[in-house]
Amino acid sequence: MKILIADDDPVSLRMMERTLQKSGYEVITVDNGREAARELAKADGPRLALVDWMMPELDGPGLCREVRSRQLDSYVYIMLLTSKQLIEDVVMGLEAGADDYLTKPCHPAELKARLHTGQRILELEDKLVDAREKMRFQATHDALTSLWDRGGIFTLLKNELSRSAREKSPVSVLLCDIDHFKRINDAHGHPVGDEVLQMVSARLQERVRPHDGVGRYGGEEFLIVLSGCGAANLAKRAEQLRESICDTPFLTKCGPIPVSISIGAITIEQWDQSLPIEPFLKEVDIALYRAKAAGRNRVSYAETMVAV
């Protein structure tokens, strides 16, 4: 684990560096508080900091206050080193945002033990963050396909439309349906049908850009949101998605199964945030119905690209 040591005493700095390197830490050293603040602000900066109270440019309590005032992605555990022993000074340091303190000169064994406590706290925070992110993912994603669920893709669509209104850029929406999916379930069973759903989901996700969105709309239907995609590019993008499914059969545990999708597509231009999105979803649903009625494995576009 990375640790920052901030101390303007070169002898003390070097001694602590050697001690902590022997304990397996990756040590970064600075000799003033302002440089320490810059190191801790980096995206891959240390999450453990050993900070002297008295330093040039920015003292230990000042550094603590600055770090705590920032919205950092991960918590930084800060230990103050001080020769001050009055309870008022200790309280001031802790109230400034320090997590612990040691009185100088400190014993190496005590220093390592206290840092180990800080490391355990950071590991606990990481576990809590991971658990929170898993819960957040489960609340917004489909359990079978790991795509956005219906609520999640609707939220993403609304956010994209709000962004497009601010930036005056288009958003295209595709509603995709697996052709004759019931036949796959009837012929091979629902477990194979689930395999196909997962494989179609993965292939669609691979064919869109990172800032686009793919969600399971329901059953064997998928809603795709193409950010910044106008009518001029929609046909190309939609055909690429369609071909990505039908060009190569899916290798399931029952052998290769040919699969195709039908797509309804629409481009939304100049979005007015006061309008609901349901009429546009109805238009793209009608376009999907036309694609299926015309023989499936094709793309049908809304009769009029919407401009509001």
What kind of architecture, by CATH, is found in domain 150-307? 2-Layer Sandwich (3.30)
Q: Are 257 and 250 in contact (CB under 8 A)?
A: yes
**Average pLDDT of 213-232?**
95
CB crowding 64-75: b at 16 or more within 10 Å, else e? bebbeeeeeeee
What CATH class has 2-137? alpha beta
Return d(Cα 205, Cα 25) in angstroms, integer: 40
Return d(Cα 31, Cα 34) in angstroms, integer: 9
**Contacts with 166 (C-beta within 8 Å, 6 or more apart), sequence order:** none
Question: What is the structure's pLDDT at 111?
Answer: 85
| Rounded percentage of the chain residues whose pLDDT exceeds 90 | 56
Q: Of 120-129, 170-179, 213-222, where does mean pLDDT reach its minimum?
A: 120-129
Question: What is the structure's pLDDT at 141?
Answer: 95
Q: How crowded is residue 287: how many other Cβ atoms within 10 Å of its Cβ?
A: 22
Give 4-50 as a DSSP string: EEE-S-HHHHHHHHHHHHHTT-EEEEESSHHHHHHHHHSTT--SEEE
AA identity, residue 50: L
pLDDT of residue 232 exceeding 90, the answer is no
Question: What is the structure's pLDDT at 307?
Answer: 45
Give 246-262 as a DSSP string: HSS-EEETTEEE---EE
Numbered ranges of CATH 3.40.50.2300 in the chain: 2-137
Q: Of 45-49, 83-87, 164-168, where does mean pLDDT reach its minimum?
A: 83-87
Return d(Cα 292, Cα 298) in angstroms, integer: 8
**Average pLDDT of 232-245?**
95
More confident residue, 301 or 303: 301
Q: Are 273 and 254 in contact (CB under 8 A)?
A: no
Residue 50: HSE in the Cβ half-sphere, 13 Å Cα cutoff: 31
Tell me the two tokens of residue 139.
């609340």
pLDDT of residue 252 exceeding 60, the answer is yes
pLDDT digits (tens, 9 = 90+) for 103-144: 877 788 888 888 889 899 999 989 998 999 999 999 999 999
**Contacts with 129 (C-beta within 8 Å, 6 or more apart), sequence order:** 74
Element (DSSP H or E) covering residue 207: helix 190-207
Q: How crowded is residue 1: how many other Cβ atoms within 10 Å of its Cβ?
A: 15
pLDDT digits (tens, 9 = 90+) for 268-290: 887 777 778 888 899 999 999 99
pLDDT of residue 167 exceeding 90, the answer is no
Question: What is the structure's pLDDT at 308?
Answer: 46
Numbered ranges of CATH 3.30.70.270 in the chain: 150-307
**Radius of gyration, alpha carbons of the chain:** 29
Question: What is the structure's pLDDT at 303?
Answer: 64
**Nearest C-alpha neighbor of 175 from the set 301, 306, 293, 277:** 301
CA-based max dimension of the chain:
84
- Residue 60 to residues 162, 174, 183: CA-CA distances in angstroms? 44, 56, 70
Phi, psi of 247 (to 5 degrees): -70, -30
Q: Which residues are catalytic?
A: 220
